[in-house]
Amino acid sequence: MKGASATTSLSTDEQFAVPGFDAVARLAAGTLKVPLVSLILSGGDAFWFTSDPRGAAQAVPQLNGLYLDAARRSTAQVVLDTRGDERFTHATLAIGLVSAPIRFFASEPVFTLSGQQVGALCVMDHAPHTDLGEAERAALRDAAALAGTSVVLGSYIGRTDPVTQLPHRNAFFGDLHEQFHDGVGHVWLTAIEVAPVERFNAFVRAMGHAYADELMRGVAERIRSWLTPGMRLYQVGVTRFAVLLSNSHGLLDTGRLDDLVARLRQPFECLSIPLTIQPGVGLLKVDEAELRTGDPLRLVMSASHEAQHSESGWALYDRDQDERHRHEFFLVTELAAALTERTELDLHYQPRIDLDTGRCVAVEALARWQHPTLGMVPPTEFIRLAESAGLMRSLTQWVLDHGVAQLAAWRREGHDIQLSLNVSSADFGADLVTRLEAAASRHGVNPRLLELEFTESTLMLHSDATRSHLAAIRQLGTGIAIDDFGTGYSNLNSLRQMPATCLKIDQSFVRAIDANPHDAAIVRSVADLARDLGFRVVVEGVETQRVLDAVLGMSCDEVQGFHLARPMPARALPGWLAGHSPATIRRSR
């Protein structure tokens, strides 16, 4: 770039411009009376300026180590005469057609406003200097400060990331499009996920942004050491990198991928504190048509996200898997809307029958979702998504409000039944009792008519932390049921101390008790033990008359299952109750 005073600046890569560098360099060159000024970034990019009338400074394809050392050194350097420093033995100044040894060298570290070092401003001369006074040193510091501001500005309006100094997403897409200009049929992309977003945010909360920035620079350096000629590294997100393979590269072999994952799984030491990350490496083959119509970066990031949870740490893009993830994301957003804006959710109720009287004594509320375009979404699917997306508390609150309101309506109609509601581990907390009490009060229902069902695994996972909350629920008179008993990992001591009132034996042990003596022995033994511990015993999954007959001979209190009644809408329950005959189920005395 030629100026009025025949000054010239040149970057080793013209596309990474630093706004205002010429003005900063001209200030330094004029004040310190040197012919050459260079801004060396810690990532290896270099920017040159000369005021020498003999011509342009020549770009240096391979930077001398002394430049990179200066760019990564946090203190200033001044070498008045390089003949006494062996580092400069082979370093030369290349100006126009003249190549002269460097005899004077000084550098000042360049920092951003946040204090992150991004490189160094270097000044050089082919003649030694006798002194560098305080005014000149101050001028060099001022020029370096201005250069730091210019680097940050260039990062935002150009193509480089301000933390790692790597080309960012815009550069990635520009270079990817360039790959197809040579008529190649496809290109391979690699994406590297450093850590799950939640975990990276935890890094920032615990250690601060400086620690997270240092970590990202460390990861970038390890990836860079793995690259081979023809590969280029980009930072395409806060915690994501991408590698674009040149046209000559085919699919990376598994050994190379294993090597990259192994490097990234080694602990990083950032600010003297070690940390192990959870990397994921994804691969994607992109053709030109897909580049025009799709988002290849999203696709390869889908693979890298999946790879984070795999043993190998790397994965090829799987279209079916990606579609499942997109579908789940769509369902989560739709469920959030259904909970607040729409009327797609409903409750179905499944009766529980007392074996001594044959009467329906309670119903279990079960959430159902009829989506306007997808139809009925299975509860196992949307409840799992609600738990993973942080919507479970909202869903439980919706079930609690609507279920208690419906119970109040049935009680006003003369139906003497109670209501059982499922509660997730996400609902555990001091406010659960408050929410329960408020719902009962709002709808005029005695809390003694309610029962909360917790899975065995949930209760045992939280036994110490939540025992006081469970005790408070019992003080309201509300029952506590241990659901799906037999599928978790409870121990007898925890079971003995649990302030529960009811134990529901999981249906996986029940469905074959008429034909499998081992299942029958398990159900009989659990029922006897639960009875002795003071629990009311409910057997789920009663789907045939033969299973019901087997249960009638055991120490069980209630049964529930398709043979007796399937879950039904609220409007159907009064008719079912009217047609139910207790004598057909009651245990003979």
Give the distance, in angstroms, between the CA of residue 427 and the centroid of all CA atoms in the same chain. 22
Question: Residues 270, 345: one domain?
Answer: no
- Amino acid identity for residue 36 in this structure: L
Mean pLDDT lowest for which of 247-251, 295-299, 532-536?
247-251
Question: Residues 360, 447: one domain?
Answer: yes
Confidence of residue 265 (pLDDT cuts 50, 70, 90): very high
Q: What is the rounded distance in angstroms from the CA atom of residue 425 to the CA atom of residue 432? A: 11
Q: What is the DSSP letter of 91?
A: -
Question: Residues 455, 503: one domain?
Answer: yes
* 53 or 81, which is more confident: 81
Instruction: State whether residue 93 is helix, strand or coil.
Output: strand
**pLDDT for position 175:** 83
Does residue 589 form part of some domain?
no
Token duo for residue 463: 């036994």
Question: Residues 250, 150: one domain?
Answer: no
| Structural domain ending residue among the three candidates 317, 345, 370 | 317
**pLDDT for position 588:** 64
The torsion angles phi and psi of 97, rounded to 5 degrees, stand at -95, 0
Question: Residues 268, 288: one domain?
Answer: yes
What CATH code is carried by the domain that includes residue 235? Answer: 3.30.70.270
Does residue 107 form part of some domain?
yes
Does residue 1 form part of some domain?
no
Question: Residues 400, 498: one domain?
Answer: yes
Task: Determine the average pLDDT of the residues in 40-63.
Answer: 66
Q: Which string of DSSP letters, residue by residue, matches 390-416?
A: T-HHHHHHHHHHHHHHHHHHHHHTT--
Question: Residues 331, 312: one domain?
Answer: no
- Amino acid identity for residue 153 in this structure: L
Share of the chain above pLDDT 90, in %: 39
| Structural domain ending residue among the three candidates 122, 157, 192 | 157
Helices 209-226 and 254-265 cross at an angle (nearest 10°) of 150
Question: Residues 115, 200: one domain?
Answer: no
Longest Cα pair distance anywhere in the chain, in angstroms? 114
Give the distance, in angstroms, between the CA of residue 292 and the centroid of all CA atoms in the same chain. 28
pLDDT digits (tens, 9 = 90+) for 443-478: 999 999 999 998 877 776 666 667 788 888 999 999
What CATH code is carried by the domain that includes residue 347? Answer: 3.20.20.450
Q: Do residues 426 and 387 make contact, with C-beta atoms less than 8 angstroms apart?
A: yes
Q: Residue 50 belongs to what H/E stretch?
A: strand 46-50
Does residue 341 form part of some domain?
yes
Question: Residues 139, 220: one domain?
Answer: no
Does residue 2 form part of some domain?
no
Task: Determine the average pLDDT of the residues in 100-115.
Answer: 84
Residue 358 region by backbone torsions, left for phi larger than 0, else alpha for psi between -120 and 50, else beta: left
Number of domains present in the structure of the chain: 3
Q: Do residues 282 and 306 make contact, with C-beta atoms less than 8 angstroms apart?
A: yes
**pLDDT for position 8:** 40
pLDDT digits (tens, 9 = 90+) for 281-301: 999 888 877 776 678 888 888
Most confident of 97-111, 192-206, 374-388: 374-388
Confidence of residue 274 (pLDDT cuts 50, 70, 90): confident
Question: Residues 272, 421: one domain?
Answer: no
Token duo for residue 29: 């060159």
What CATH code is carried by the domain that includes residue 104? Answer: 3.30.450.40
Q: Which among 22, 30, 27, 31 has a CA at the least distance from the CA of 3?
A: 22
Does residue 236 form part of some domain?
yes
Q: Which string of DSSP letters, residue by residue, matches 294-355?
A: S-HHHHHHHHHHHHTTSSSSEEE--HHHHHHHHHHHHHHHHHHHHHHT---EEEEEEEEEET
| Domain coverage including residue 119 | 8-157
| Structural domain ending residue among the three candidates 128, 157, 186 | 157
Question: Residues 516, 382: one domain?
Answer: yes
Q: Do residues 555 and 527 make contact, with C-beta atoms less than 8 angstroms apart?
A: yes
Question: Residues 429, 390: one domain?
Answer: yes
Does residue 472 form part of some domain?
yes
Does residue 205 form part of some domain?
yes
Task: Report, in angstroms and rounded to the nearest whole number, the Rg of the chain calculated over CA atoms.
Answer: 35
pLDDT digits (tens, 9 = 90+) for 135-189: 999 999 999 998 888 777 666 555 677 788 888 888 888 888 877 776 667 788 8
Instruction: State whether residue 502 is helix, strand or coil.
Output: strand
Share of the chain above pLDDT 70, in %: 86
Q: What is the rounded distance in angstroms from the CA atom of residue 572 to the CA atom of residue 207? A: 57
